[in-house]
Amino acid sequence: MKTPIAVAAVSAALYVLTSAAFAAEPCDIPGYLLFGNNELKHVAEAVRKERRLTIAVVGTGSSILAGPDGPRSAYPARLEAVLKQKLPSVAVKVVTLARTRMTAEDLAKGMEKVLADEKPDLVIWQTGTLDAIRRVDPDEFREALDEGVETLHKGGADVILMNMQYSPRTDIMVSYGPYADSMRVVAQQHEIPLFDRLAIMRNWSDTGAFDLYAAGKDNVLAQRVHDCIGRGIASMIIDAAHLHPEPKAAQ
Amino acid sequence: MHALVVTTGRDLRLDLFRGIALWLIFLDHIPSNLVAWGTIRNYGFSDATEIFVFVSGYTAAFVYGREMRERGFLIAGAHILRRAWQIYVAHVFLFAIYLAEISYVATSFENPLYAEEMNILDFLKQPEVTIVEALLLKFKPSNMDILPLYIILLLLFPPTLWLLQFRSSLALGASVLLYVLTWTFNWNLPSYPSGHWYFNPFAWQLLFVFGAWCALGGAQRLAAVLQSRVTLSIAVAYLLFAFVITLTWYLPYMSQYVPHWLEELIYPIDKVNLDVLRFAHFLALAVVTVRFLPREWPGLKSRWAWPPIVCGQHSLEIFCLGVFLSFAAHFAMVEVSGAIWMQFLLSALGIVVMVAAAGLLSWYKRAEGRSSGSRPKKTPDADLAGGEA
Q: What's the domain range around A121? A: 39-244
Read off the CATH number of the domain in which A193 is found: 3.40.50.1110
**Shortest distance, CA B193 to any CA of chain A (angstroms):** 6
Query: Quick one: average pLDDT of B132-159?
Result: 93
Instruction: Inform me whether the pLDDT recorded for B79 exceeds 60.
Output: yes
Query: Quick one: average pLDDT of B28-45?
Result: 89
Q: Do B106 and A170 touch (CB under 8 A)?
A: yes
Q: Could you tell me if residue A33 is inside a domain?
A: no
- Among residues B233, B245, B265, B153, the alpha carbon closest in space to that of B199 is found at B153
Based on its alpha-carbon atoms, the radius of gyration of chain B, rounded to whole angstroms, reads 21
pLDDT under 50: residue ranges of chain A = 1-2, 14-24, 246-251
**Shortest distance, CA B267 to any CA of chain A (angstroms):** 7
* Distance, CA of B264 to chain centre: 29
Instruction: Tell me the pLDDT band of B295, cut-offs 50, 70 and 90.
Output: confident
Q: Could you tell me if residue A7 is inside a domain?
A: no
pLDDT of amino acid A196: 94
Burial of B345: CB neighbours in 10 Å, binned 0-12, 13-18, 19+: middle
Q: Do A169 and B105 touch (CB under 8 A)?
A: yes
Q: Do A172 and B114 touch (CB under 8 A)?
A: no
Task: Report ipTM for this prediction.
Answer: 0.82
Instruction: Tell me the pLDDT band of B2, cut-offs 50, 70 and 90.
Output: very low
Cβ-proximal residues to A202 (8 Å cutoff; 6+ apart), any chain: A166, B32
- Among residues A222, A177, A226, A172, the alpha carbon closest in space to that of B335 is found at A172
Instruction: Inform me whether the pLDDT recorded for B176 exceeds 70.
Output: yes
* Distance, CA of A159 to chain centre: 12
Q: Do A170 and B117 touch (CB under 8 A)?
A: yes
Instruction: Inform me whether the pLDDT recorded for B66 exceeds 70.
Output: yes
For an interface test with A, which of B35, B117, B330 has the most A Cβ atoms less than 10 Å from its Cβ? B117
**Shortest distance, CA B108 to any CA of chain A (angstroms):** 7
Contact (CB, 8 A) for B312 and B24: no
Query: Quick one: average pLDDT of B51-67?
Result: 95
Q: Could you tell me if residue A15 is inside a domain?
A: no
- List CB contacts (< 8 A) between A37 and chain B: 253, 256
Cβ-proximal residues to B372 (8 Å cutoff; 6+ apart), any chain: none
Contact (CB, 8 A) for A97 and A152: no
Query: Quick one: average pLDDT of B105-130?
Result: 83
Number of domains in chain A: 1
Q: What percent of chain B has pLDDT over 90?
A: 61
Q: Which amino acid is at A145?
A: L
Q: Could you tell me if residue A91 is inside a domain?
A: yes
Q: Could you tell me if residue A222 is inside a domain?
A: yes
Instruction: Inform me whether the pLDDT recorded for B208 exceeds 50.
Output: yes
* Distance, CA of A99 to chain centre: 17
- State the CB neighbour count (10 A cutoff) for residue B254: 16
Give the three-class secondary structure for A127.
coil
Cα(B23)–Cα(A137) distance, rounded to whole angstroms? 28
Cα(A64)–Cα(A99) distance, rounded to whole angstroms? 9
- State the CB neighbour count (10 A cutoff) for residue A83: 23
* Alpha-carbon distances, residue B54 vs A15, A227, B42, B174, B205 (angstroms): 53, 48, 20, 17, 9
Q: Could you tell me if residue A6 is inside a domain?
A: no
Q: Do A215 and B110 touch (CB under 8 A)?
A: yes
Give the three-class secondary structure for A92.
strand
Contact (CB, 8 A) for B45 and B249: no
pLDDT of amino acid B152: 97
- State the CB neighbour count (10 A cutoff) for residue B143: 23
- Among residues B386, B272, B381, B387, the alpha carbon closest in space to that of B319 is found at B387
Complete DSSP assignment for B210-279: HHHHIIIIIHHHTHHHHH-HHHHHHHHHHHHHHHHHHHHHHSGGGGGGS-HHHHHHH-S--TTTT-HHHH
